[in-house]
Amino acid sequence: MLAFSKVIQPKTVAEAYEAAVKNKMAPLLAGGCWIRLGRRIWPVVIDLSELGLRYVKEENNEFVIGAMATQSDVEQFEPLRQFVKGIIPAGIHEILGVQFRNMATMGGSVASRFGFSDIIPALLAVKTDVVLANGGRMSLEDYMTYRDRDILVEIRIPNHEVPVAIEALRISRGDFPYLTGSIRKDETGYAVYVGTRPGAPMKAVKASALLTEKGAAAAKEAGELAAEELNLQKNSHASKEYRQAMTKSMVVRLVKEVEAWN
């Protein structure tokens, strides 16, 4: 388990950021769901539970999710069940069990940038932004490669209905997915994202451009391009070849789903 001898409990985001910078190696404790998987002994951890960041609300035509809101808080937030056919709660619902989702925070889920995340592909598809204590507001897509020591404060989703679809492929229910993906179709064209490569979700840039140029008729070609352009690797859940084959199918399925949107 993760062991520590001291805990810092900041009361404000500014204090938390200051503590994070001062204690550069200290883990930030959010929901704590993987706390028992660690083996290191840390002199200090920074607990984020007293920052007042557990909320989900609508504000200025955006859904605003505090970093300490749990996955269950979001899953049960009725306006998000109505938004883009409820893909955000649907993505969350597949994650392990109720107890886990009652503890896991949205901030922890996003900031960890886990490759196997069910949530991140869905959030990418709806053009989510994040707000950081020091880095300010940036797109989630940019945040995926942001490496500065910072505190994730909020997740902001524009309340803008556009055709989107998500997929998560699993060996069995309750397991981690071995491949995830999402798609968005708006006035600028298509955007396809693939996760659990097993690396963190990222945009299939060439496949997205091809779909934007040629439309849904190029779905099969786009799937092949996505499988080729992304760095798909093996892990305990799937081989590289299996992921490549399933990426082709998944992209075709995503295109079909987003085209069937009405």
Partner 1 sequence: MELVLKINGKNVPVNVATDEMLLDTLRGLGFYSVRCGCDTTNCGLCTVWVDGEVTLSCAYPTFRAPGHEITTLEGLEEEASQLADCLASEGADQCGFCTTGMMMSALALKRRNPSASDDEIREYLIGNLCRCTGYESQLRGVRKFLQGGNA
Under rule CB under 8 A, residue 171 binds partner 1: no
CA distance 33 to 44: 18
Residue 43, number of CB atoms within 10 A of its CB: 10
Structure tokens at 262: 């009405």
Under rule CB under 8 A, residue 103 binds partner 1: yes
Q: By C-beta, is 96 or 245 nearer to partner 1? A: 96
Supply φ then ψ for residue 63, to 5 degrees: -90, 130
Q: By C-beta, is 102 or 233 nearer to partner 1? A: 102
Asked if 156 and 63 touch (Cβ cutoff 8 Å), the reply is yes
Q: By C-beta, is 3 or 138 nearer to partner 1? A: 3
Minimum distance, C-beta of residue 155 to partner 1, in the bound complex (Å): 21
Minimum distance, C-beta of residue 93 to partner 1, in the bound complex (Å): 8
Euclidean distance between the first and final Cα of the chain, in Å?
48
Which residue among 12, 82, 99, 239 contacts partner 1 (CB under 8 A)? 99
CA distance 133 to 145: 17
Structure tokens at 1: 């388990």
Supply φ then ψ for residue 172, to 5 degrees: -150, 155
Minimum distance, C-beta of residue 35 to partner 1, in the bound complex (Å): 5
Which residue among 82, 102, 139, 239 contacts partner 1 (CB under 8 A)? 102
Give the interface size with partner 1 as a residue count (CB under 8 A).
27
Q: Given the rule CB under 8 A, which residues bind partner 1? A: 1-7, 29, 32-37, 45, 47, 49, 72, 96-100, 102-103, 173-174
